Structure 1
Amino acid sequence: MQNTTRIIANPLAAGLAPGEATTDRIAWVKLSLVFLPLAAPISDAKVLTGRQKPLTEIAFLFAEIETEQGHSGIGYSYSKRAGGPGQFAHAKEIAGELIGEDPNDIARIWDKLVWAGASVGRSGLSTQAIAAFDIALWDLKAKRAKLPLAKLLGAHRDSVRCYNTSGGYLSMPIEEVKERVSMALEKGIGAIKLKVGQPDPMVDLARIEAVRKHIGDVPLAIDANQQWDRTTALRFGRIAEQFSLTWIEEPLDAYDYEGHAALAKELATPIATGEMLTSVDEHYELIRHNSVDFIQPDAPRVGGITPFLKILALADHKKLQLAPHYCMEIHLHLTAAYGREPWVEHFEWSEAMFNEKLHVVNGRMIVPNRPGLGFSLSDQARAWTRATHEAGKRP
């Protein structure tokens, strides 16, 4: 008698068939590629080392989702200098995968989308495209619950400490930096971040000293944008300890986990990095190597809110401080739900993109009392749109 083995496929591989708990389905998805122009080109250390050109515009990938029952959500990803059209192209390829899905199954949808394009990788540009969908689904979920996203996640606070970066670039002379710093503080912003990484480190030290004298005891951080080697970072960090910096950001290459760990061990000033990493696994390596005091994940870069929450769980377990990169409209809600007092980064660049404004009072950004993420696209953003794509049929 011949022995045969019957192989039964695991139904969880593609998600269980919808049951009675499924009460709504995604009907329509719209993608928009929007280019936000900056008022003037800006430069950080990557420009001074010749690795990048000055930044003149930012590409945004917006995803708008609507369901059969009329619920809606909006999310975005972004790219600087290059990659925006690539994100749009990948999102366009996989947008149809959302049609007919239960919008509540956010984690399963994320897995479905990442495997739909797995041949180009499960991090980087592919997951940055997925981020726009994922963030839109979380926005939809919170709107359906009639709660700000922070409250849906379980907020620890209704406001978050905020710092400003957009006035501290290397392309600005020190007098302009001080003027912009004063404007930020007058708006109620609670801290300042200054770009460093000049070819002559003494120029950086002079700029730090000038800003420190200008702002007094206001918290001050610096950001080298990955352009130092280990020796320069260690020497500079020791000299800079006199300025009582809140952190030194990206002193080394983003993937130099061991180098960052050595700096974190040697310097009194906390080390911050993580913004350029594009997956949970890469952030886990930072955490595992004890590379950071402040971890700086970027929700659109890591693939959305779903993977971002996994990073927060890992960071909280290691008792790390949190200061996400950019995207204040999204990160305000996520930092409000972190157990340890965090920071959120303030940029006024994107304010023209949205109808709603975020408010800062006494150094803290206020979580808005609006459902979901609490923003909608402005007419200006629509005018800056260069390409759109739709999947499904709007209900």
Structure 2
Amino acid sequence: MDYTPDTIRSIELSTLRLPLPVPISDAKVFTGRQKPMTEVVFLIAEIATAQGFTGHGFSYSKRGGGPAQYAHAKEVAGVVIGEDPNDIDKLYTKLLWAGASVGRSGVATQALAAIDVALYDLKAKRAGLPLSKLLGAHRDSVRTYNTSGGFLNASIDEVLDRATQSLREGIGGIKIKVGLPDGAEDLRRVRAVRDHIGTEVPLMVDANQQWDRPTALRMGRRLEEFDLVWIEEPLDAYDAHGHAELARALDTPIATGEMLTSVAEHERLIAAHSCDIIQPDAPRIGGITQFLRLMMLADRAGLGLAPHFAMQIHLHLAACYPREPWVEHFDWLDPLFDERLETRDGRMFVPDRPGLGITFSGQARAWTTERVTIGA
């Protein structure tokens, strides 16, 4: 059958504010660097083509940057109107050059991520395939661990209850936050969780960049006894050499990367041997186009993969990684979608629906604060 060219007819951009049930605190709050998080701001892109195909994508921001993402997307999205939506790499480059004066990282590319994800969703729907199958999957399910139950605003009893609930729901591992000013309290909470879930359940901790180098080494040595899957973000996200020294000194694997906003920044981590497990975030580094480039580099370096947040996107991408990865389970985003991702026997299963396999809910529409349509 001959290929019939299609064109992008319109892009609808919208922004919404997802309220969190309770204010969320990690170590950055307890060290005075941030206030508790009360909402997540989303940028939504919905692409329609002349042949009647549609694609949906999203990016997001925590605490700041959401309005800037929306503003930048409005400025540059028009350059792809009339283009063939299948030429994703070409369109990504065109969008980059439309906003070249503000660079190729941070808000500049996070704004493009929603459009890029929507293009991949559209392409997979056109093919009638889940996105992972379009890209080339290695597996149909991925190991999963829960993070949303382990924040520091929760009492240890609440953390234990959430851990029990997560395991009953078929989630395989538990991650909790550390990095409190009182390291003894961190150790008490980790010990309580390990005792509660047993030695066979995978356990991770996340310090959210709040230790300096001596503290990270000291705490890392104290944490060795708990047989952790990894210690996440023990140091400032951009301290590649400090992470590398820590990775060499500890038996426990080091994971980091979620706060970086470009492939180039991750390349510096990889070159310095800064981590055992890399944790890119597709919306933060510019979308799926950029994530695929980074996956190739990470695999070549022999790294584990555990993408940050946005499991509705990252499940498909992790399923395509040659090495057995992890996907982070967050239930915060559930109200935005009509569908739920299946977890069973410690794994998250790729949906068999075309594209990302998600549709935005009526509640998502109700939370929308601004909307604009670019094109016909």
Q: For residue 251 of structure 1, what is the amino acid of its counterpart?
A: P
Give structure 1 stretches of 5+ with no counterpart. 1-19
Question: Cα distance, 1:22 vs. partner?
Answer: 7.0
Question: Cα distance, 1:115 vs. partner?
Answer: 1.2
Paired residue for 2:239, among 256, 266, 282? 256
Equivalent position SS for 1:286? helix
The aligned runs of 1:1-395 (5 Å cut-off) are 23-216=5-198, 217-393=200-376
Deviations 1:84-125 (A, max 9, x none): 111001111112112011101101111111111111111000
Q: For residue 276 of structure 1, what is the amino acid of its counterpart?
A: M
User: Matches of 2:321 and 2:102 in 1, distance apart?
Assistant: 32
Equivalent position SS for 1:375? coil
Structure possessing the higher radius of gyration over alpha carbons: 1
Q: Which residue of 2 aligns with 1:14?
A: none
Q: For residue 85 of structure 1, what is the amino acid of its counterpart?
A: P
TM-score, normalised to structure 2, is 0.98
User: Matches of 2:34 and 2:3 in 1, distance apart?
Assistant: 50
Q: For residue 208 of structure 2, what is the amino acid of its counterpart?
A: N
User: Matches of 1:386 and 1:95 in 2, distance apart?
Assistant: 19
Question: Cα distance, 1:252 vs. partner?
Answer: 0.4
The answer on whether the counterparts of 1:22 and 1:102 sit within 8 Å (CA) in structure 2 is no
Q: Which runs of 4+ in 1 moved over 4 A?
A: none
Equivalent position SS for 2:333? helix
Equivalent position SS for 1:309? helix
User: Matches of 1:315 and 1:21 in 2, distance apart?
Assistant: 34
Deviations 1:142-180 (A, max 9, x none): 000000000011110000000000010011110111011
User: Matches of 1:329 and 1:148 in 2, distance apart?
Assistant: 12
Equivalent position SS for 1:53? coil
Equivalent position SS for 1:349? coil
User: Matches of 1:335 and 1:135 in 2, distance apart?
Assistant: 15
Give structure 2 stretches of 5+ with no counterpart. none
Question: Cα distance, 1:373 vs. partner?
Answer: 0.3
Equivalent position SS for 1:169? coil
Q: For residue 163 of structure 1, what is the amino acid of its counterpart?
A: Y
Provide the identity percentage: 65
Equivalent position SS for 2:307? coil
Equivalent position SS for 1:52? coil
Deviations 1:41-72 (A, max 9, x none): 01001111111110100001000001101111
Q: For residue 361 of structure 1, what is the amino acid of its counterpart?
A: R
Question: Cα distance, 1:21 vs. partner?
Answer: 7.0
Equivalent position SS for 2:38? strand
The alignment of Structure 1 onto Structure 2 pairs a total of residues equal to 374
User: Matches of 1:108 and 1:276 in 2, distance apart?
Assistant: 26
Deviations 1:217-249 (A, max 9, x none): 200000000010000000100110000000000
RMSD: 0.9
Q: Which residue of 2 aligns with 1:15?
A: none
